[in-house]
Amino acid sequence: AQSVTQLDSHVSVSEGTPVLLRCNYSSSYSPSLFWYVQHPNKGLQLLLKYTSAATLVKGINGFEAEFKKSETSFHLTKPSAHMSDAAEYFCVVSDHGGSQGNLIFGKGTKLSVKP
């Protein structure tokens, strides 16, 4: 069965410093992996997705993530945080097992950005 673990429930950075949000996954198949972002009082927006093409995936707003099969990780990074990046981020794996296409969400990481 698929699962996903977000290693930090809350990350705080200063504006202009790098962002690292950590995610580990478990999958018996070749997974699809996603990062979604939820700004306060908003819905979910796709940041980026990995679907077995390039292991380094670039997303919107300067975010990127690297798929590392040997480490079963899919960490999200951004070189320089902006105040508008403050939000909750969800790492998500696709269940290719009995329910093809269903998503399994991590518990989320809240990113705070200090001026």
Amino acid at 43: G
Counting contacts by CB under 8 A, is residue 3 touching other proteins?
no
Q: Closer CB to other proteins, residue 17 or residue 26?
A: 26
Name the residue among 62, 66, 55 with its Cα closest to residue 22: 66
Interface pick for other proteins out of 9, 12, 14, 112 (rule CB under 8 A): 9
Which of helix, strand or coil describes residue 85?
helix
Question: What distance in Å separates the CA atoms of residue 4 and residue 108, rounded to the nearest whole number?
Answer: 10
Q: Closer CB to other proteins, residue 51 or residue 84?
A: 51
Point out which residues bind other proteins (CB under 8 A).
9, 32, 34, 36, 42-46, 49, 51-52, 90, 94, 99-103, 105-108
